[in-house]
Each structure stands twice: as structure tokens, then as C-alpha cells.
Amino acid sequence: MKPTFLKQSLWTIVLAIGCAGLSGCTLNALGGPTLSTTTSAEQTQRLFWENVKQGKWQTVQALLLPNITWRNGSRVLSREQILPYLKQLQVKDYLLTDVTVKPNSNEMTVVYRIQITTASSSQPLNLSAVAVWQQLPPLPTDATKKQKKQAAKAAPYLLSVEDLVPDSPAVPGS
């Protein structure tokens, strides 16, 4: 009787470990990608706007390169002006469509249309945008464990964004 009990116990343990492993993967997939797990420029752009919508301003700020240029219609915003502009929009929801990604070395150009629903307007803003994301260059093959760990946490940087307004008469803050 002992061999049968051991076999059943062993199978129960293997099954429990397998289920735990599968559920862990499933939970991660349901949680969606994060800035540290995605390798997609399109997904990075979506995560940027999701952070704006959720008011995660530290995350948004961390994605902006120090010398970023953001064009809002005919107005050019400096890095210091971007967060106040985004906060003033009061984004309730957004929809990205017509997304095209063009790679260029360690940069990715994302061309897209975005419809932004704001708290202050009954009409959504319809914008065409170009964003250039830069990923840090690959580490040298002799990189230390510390350098690899830091690089794994590094998010891409938003170099520039140009918002055009083909469908709306005005962009708030212009």
C-alpha cells in the first residue's frame, strides 16, 4: 500500500506545482504588459497614454528625455511644460488607431491617431501624432550583473511627439 500512496502523493505534488506555474503565467498575462516587460514601441505608446489617463505623473515624467520637444498644434512645449499640459487635458479615456511603427537603429517612430476624451469637453480631441521612442543601446558582452539588472529596469525614452489637429478646431492649451 505504501508504493501506491507515494505514487499518488508524488502525482498530487507534480500536479499542484504545474497548476501553480500555469496560474502564475496566466495571472501575468491577464495583468497585461508593463513598461519593464514590453518590447513593443506600440505597446509603450499605449502604456504612456494609460499612465497619463491614470495620473501616474512620475512614470510619465520618467519617460520624457531631458531634451524632449512636444509640438501641440502650433505651440512647442519644453519638458517642463509637458506635464502641466497633460494634466490640464484631464484625460478620461483615449483610443489609439492607425498605428504604424518604423524602426531606425535603437529608435522607433510610432505614427498614430489618437482620440482623447477629456473631462472638460463633450467633444473628443482627434489628433494625429508622431512619437519617437529611444531604447537604450545594447550592453557590451562583458557587462556586469549590476549593469544588466539596471538595463532590464530601464524604460524607453520618449524623444519627441508632434500632435497635429486635422479633425478638431483647437487643441486645449494652444
Looking at the structure, tell me whether residues 5 and 52 fall in a common domain: no
Q: How far apart are the first and last CA of the chain?
A: 81
Single pTM value for the model? 0.67
Looking at the structure, tell me whether residues 41 and 76 fall in a common domain: yes
Looking at the structure, tell me whether residues 130 and 46 fall in a common domain: yes
Query: What is the pLDDT confidence band of residue 84, given thresholds at 50, 70 and 90?
Result: very high
Q: How far apart are CA 22 and CA 24, in angstroms?
A: 5
Print the domain residue range for 22: 1-31
What pLDDT, in 10s, does the model give residues 90-108? 999 999 999 999 988 778 8
So what's the pLDDT on residue 27?
39
Domain assignment of residue 158, yes or no: yes
Handedness of CA 150, 155, 156, 162 (dihedral sign): negative
Cell of 109: 517612430
Looking at the structure, tell me whether residues 26 and 109 fall in a common domain: no
Looking at the structure, tell me whether residues 78 and 99 fall in a common domain: yes
Looking at the structure, tell me whether residues 127 and 111 fall in a common domain: yes
Q: Does the pLDDT of residue 22 top 50, yes or no? A: no
Could you give the number of structural domains in the chain? 2
What is the DSSP secondary structure assignment for residue 156, as one 8-state letter?
P
* E strand intervals along the chain: 64-72, 75-77, 91-104, 107-118, 125-134, 157-164
